[in-house]
Amino acid sequence: MYRRRATPPRDASLTARQTGLMIGAMERDIEHRGINLRRLAHEVDETRRRMVVGGVFYVLGWLLVCLFTPAISVYPWASLTIAVIFVSLAVARLALRPPVSQDPRVLTHWLDLQWLIIQVSAAVWGAVVLWTLISPVLANARMALLVGAAGFATAIAHTYSMRFWPSLLAVVLIYAPATALMWMPGHDRAVAFSLTVYLAYVITSLIRSHRDFHDRLDFQETLRQQRDAFERMSRTDDLTLLANRRVFVAELERVRAEATNHTRPVSLLVIDLDHFKQINDQHGHAIGDTCLSGFAEQLRLVFAGQGELPARLGGEEFAVLLPGHTEPEAATRAEAFRIGLAAVAVVPEQPTLRIHVSIGVAEFDAKRHLSSDTFLIDADRALYRAKNEGRNRVCQASGNRL
């Protein structure tokens, strides 16, 4: 029988390697973006939970100033303005709900708004503390507000440590004005020294809290990656990274059951590498393994349609599930794959080494294939007929041969 021959392009193996490298780079980029998105989503969740009650304490702090000093009677408009600012910021913390969208730009914008609220609150409180230190009318509240500034700075360092520099800015805004004023002539240097030492402690705590937060995220990501790796190992063949036999049989059964209830055709290819034992004997098992990996890559590239599933059944035997294909259509694709495979050097170290395959094709028949096993047996029989008739060919379960 006349057999078509494909002229192998000179850079066929190079193209396959380049394609593999491009796919690998794309997968790594997608994984990296996925990690960043998960970390960003986690930061949004943490920020939301920690922002809920913070604004209330600024309102309470200013209320204490108004209760224990004549601030309202002496500075009515200023007192009212400060109260409105703190209440508005507290309401804004509750009103700005986390976005439903998982777009990184949307999440980042929401976080930026939260940090703006934190920093404005800190700046207003820092200005209030400075005002009490300057105004004799508010002298009764000085010690309470200084303690409050220290407490708020500590809370920011421990609670909002997700981002170091925005958090440090909030600490400086709330704490630095009073500390700087106390170092000026005419003020208590002992208090200034105490405030400065405590500021150093707060910054140290912020550094540690920031590191702990991101170490925890790293640990969680490591656990997730290990879980995903174990999941992949349970579903894929270690050498070829194709679906393993267990996954393939489960998918075959699912598609078979679906095809039983519908008229959509489903076909199955069973593929065996011809004379693979000779490749192992002549070139060694390392080359044999590379050969299997390269062959699997070709399967992935050619049978990449929706619902198509290439898998390694064991040894040098592979299979491809082709939903939506009749037996002749599946056989045509199998023949094109067989011819194209001969033009590709799947082992870069052995550019003259070529792989030939025998392929059996079967189409699902609800009357005959009462289980996935009988469906697979039909394709197996077609495969063995292809091998008995001389190998390197495609045979159909219906009796036809390409």
Q: What is the pLDDT of residues 372-386, one digit of tens each?
A: 999 999 999 999 999
The better pLDDT of the pair 362, 366 is held by 362
d(CA 136, CA 188): 16
Q: How confident is the model at residue 16 (pLDDT cuts 50, 70, 90)?
A: very low
- pLDDT greater than 70 at residue 29: no
Q: What is the pLDDT of residues 197-235, one digit of tens each?
A: 999 999 999 999 999 999 999 999 888 888 887 887 788
pTM comes to 0.66
Tell me, what's the pLDDT at 33?
61
Tell me, what's the pLDDT at 401?
58
Q: Give percent of the chain with pLDDT exceeding 70.
A: 91
Q: Which amino acid is at 392?
A: N
Contacts of 344 (CB under 8 A, 6+ apart): 8, 12, 13, 16, 294, 298, 354
d(CA 259, CA 271): 22
Q: How confident is the model at residue 122 (pLDDT cuts 50, 70, 90)?
A: very high
Q: How confident is the model at residue 32 (pLDDT cuts 50, 70, 90)?
A: low
- Determine the distance from the C-alpha atom of residue 263 to the mean position of all C-alpha atoms in its chain, rounded to a whole number: 38
- pLDDT greater than 50 at residue 6: no
142-146, 264-268, 347-351: least confidently modelled range:
347-351
Q: What is the pLDDT of residues 275-306, one digit of tens each?
A: 999 998 898 999 999 999 999 999 999 999 99
Mean pLDDT of 358-366: 94
Closest CA to 303 of 331, 322, 275: 322
Q: How confident is the model at residue 396 (pLDDT cuts 50, 70, 90)?
A: very high
Q: How confident is the model at residue 85 (pLDDT cuts 50, 70, 90)?
A: very high
CA distances from 36 to 1, 107, 209 (A): 58, 12, 20
Tell me, what's the pLDDT at 30?
46
- pLDDT greater than 50 at residue 257: yes
- pLDDT mean across residues, the chain: 88
362 forms bridges with which residues in the sheet? 268
251: three-class secondary structure by DSSP: helix
Torsion sign over Cα 116, 122, 125, 129: negative
